[in-house]
Amino acid sequence: MTVRIPAHGQPVDQVLAELAAMRQTDTDWKGGRVFSLVYHAGEEHARLLERAHAMYASGNLLNPMAFQSLRRMEAEVTQAAAALFHGPPSTVGALTSGGTESILVAVAALRDRARRKRPWIRRPVIVAPRTIHPAFDKAAHYYGVTLRKVDVDADMRVDVAAMARAICRRTIALAASAPQYAHGVIDPIEAVGELAVRHRLPLHVDACIGGFALPWVERLGRPVPPWDFRVPGVTSISADLHKYAYAGKGASLLLWRSMADMRHQFFIATDFPGGIYASPTMIGTRPGGPVAAAWAALHGLGEDGFLRLTRDTLETADKIRAGVAAIPGLKVVGDSFGTVVAWGAAPGGPDVFAVADRLEARGWSIDRGQHPATVHLTCTANHKAIADRYLADVAAAVAEVVADPSLAKSGSAAMYGMMAKVPVRGMVAYSVRKVLEAMYAPGVIVPDLEATAGDGVVGKVLERVGPHLDRALDGVAALRARLRRAS
């Protein structure tokens, strides 16, 4: 089907009706069926965000002189976050479109900072845990930076001693998470900060999930290790407003301890015939809607609202965590800081990805993790009403997989299980790239996701490489054994 702009404009009611109809195929996030993509604080708050966003839908923070109201909102949100994160009076920052942009901007600024202070470095290195968000991989890919990843301990926190060993003369920065996404645990920021101070390196803390949750968790009396600007070595923090600040998509913050560091993120072009071009973030046009919605979210909820939402979220996460641990064959992975839950199979337990498939068949949107295999939940207050239903469905899904182990050989379970065995990750990248190519191919309006992920492109690739995987794994194991003997 060829899609074109209609020859004549359609009535407003018709356009809105078509938009509403298309939305019917989306997952029921208001009903709590999604655990990470949407942070819902209730209908009244949602209406506030919609009205604030609509009021500034045509605003553009590219020119803060033309839209001084947006610049004021950005400044007030930044200052409020600086106070929340215990920043000194010198703390500065800017709003971005999301956590990925915050990290992209931070890495670019850290690279340019090194270019000015240590221009002899040609291949800059950033040292980070292997659990760091893939936005750092993307930034390293874009900016010619080597991301040197180190292992984590049994609790999924970065091994600080391994981090120290990974630092070299080309290292320009360290990075850690508060918390990391996969398991919801906070890296030992104090110890990493001491390492940064000792080596005179900047430290970026990725608090995209925790930035607007951890302060309230701490105020509610739960132990939270220091992670913010109270740690002397912390130079910059990224924190998403559209997560636990319950702002509209997409809004995030990148904060710096001082302008001496933030100045490296500014881009200025002076020779453009259209005039001088200056931008503090990655994007040029900076939509006003998300800025206004972020400001409205902070003012609409207030401290009491955030404490109420966080209390409900913690109770929900605690309930799910305890309920999952009580199901035979399952275990909780990682020592979560509170709002994030990750669970996997206990020794001898069912195939986690097969259980995930059974949950999706029951209408849940499931996030799957790997290394180890897990199901990931970012809990919010919106999930309080469905916690019992979720746990009942998890128990039923486990029973279904235990009764029929062949379920692990079909659907997404088969794909994820095979991917986990591929010894060369390039094969995985090749397969996923083919999925994206199929999804964004010319003329594709609604991609056949099931065929693409199962019997389609990925399935054919896995079918082709599958017979070779066991032999490849045996070869890798034999090579490792010979190397151990030789050493």
**In 3D, which of 421, 225, 262, 255 has the Cα closest to residue 337?**
225
**In 3D, which of 46, 41, 39, 74 has the Cα closest to residue 288?**
74
Q: Which two tokens stand for residue 27?
A: 């997952």
**Contacts of range 43-47, beta carbons closer than 8 Å, 24 or more positions apart:** 45/246, 45/297, 45/300, 45/301
Tell me, what amino acid is at 294? A
Cβ atoms of residues 29 and 37 within 8 Å? yes
Residue 257 confidence class, pLDDT cut points 50, 70, 90: very high
CA-based torsion, 143, 146, 375, 350: positive or negative: positive
Q: Which two tokens stand for residue 332?
A: 């909780």
Residue 158 DSSP label = B
CA-based torsion, 401, 402, 403, 406: positive or negative: positive
Q: Which residue has the higher pLDDT, 293 or 423?
A: 293
**In 3D, which of 256, 264, 268, 255 has the Cα closest to residue 112?**
264
Q: Which pLDDT belongs to residue 256?
A: 95
d(C-alpha 273, C-alpha 270), whole Å: 9
Cβ atoms of residues 72 and 340 within 8 Å? no
- End-to-end CA separation in angstroms for the chain: 62
At 424, phi and psi to the nearest 5? -110, 110
pLDDT exceeds cutoff 80 at 28: no
Share of the chain above pLDDT 90, in %: 59
How many Cα atoms sit within 13 Å of 116 on the Cβ side?
10
**Angle (CA) 169 139 442, round 5°:** 150
**In 3D, which of 158, 121, 122, 125 has the Cα closest to residue 140?**
125
Residue with tokens 């931008």: 279
The region that residue 132 occupies, defined by phi over 0 for left and psi between -120 and 50 for alpha, beta otherwise, is beta
pLDDT exceeds cutoff 90 at 211: yes
Residue 455 confidence class, pLDDT cut points 50, 70, 90: very low
pLDDT tens by residue, 108-152:
999 999 999 998 998 999 999 999 999 999 999 999 999 999 999
Residue 409 confidence class, pLDDT cut points 50, 70, 90: confident
**In 3D, which of 134, 443, 99, 373 has the Cα closest to residue 250?**
99
pLDDT tens by residue, 36-50:
778 888 889 999 999
- For 173, the 3-state DSSP assignment is strand
**In 3D, which of 2, 13, 94, 81 has the Cα closest to residue 281?**
94
Average model confidence (pLDDT) for the chain? Answer: 86
**In 3D, which of 247, 241, 245, 246 has the Cα closest to residue 53?**
247
Tell me, what amino acid is at 254? L
Is residue 93 classed exposed, middle or buried when 0-12, 13-18 and 19+ CB atoms within 10 A define those classes? buried
pLDDT tens by residue, 301-352:
999 999 999 999 999 999 999 999 999 999 998 766 689 999 999 999 999 9
Give the CATH number of domain 52-297; options: 3.40.640.10, 3.30.365.10, 3.40.50.620, 3.30.40.10.
3.40.640.10
Topology of 302-411 in CATH? Answer: Aspartate Aminotransferase, domain 1 (3.90.1150)
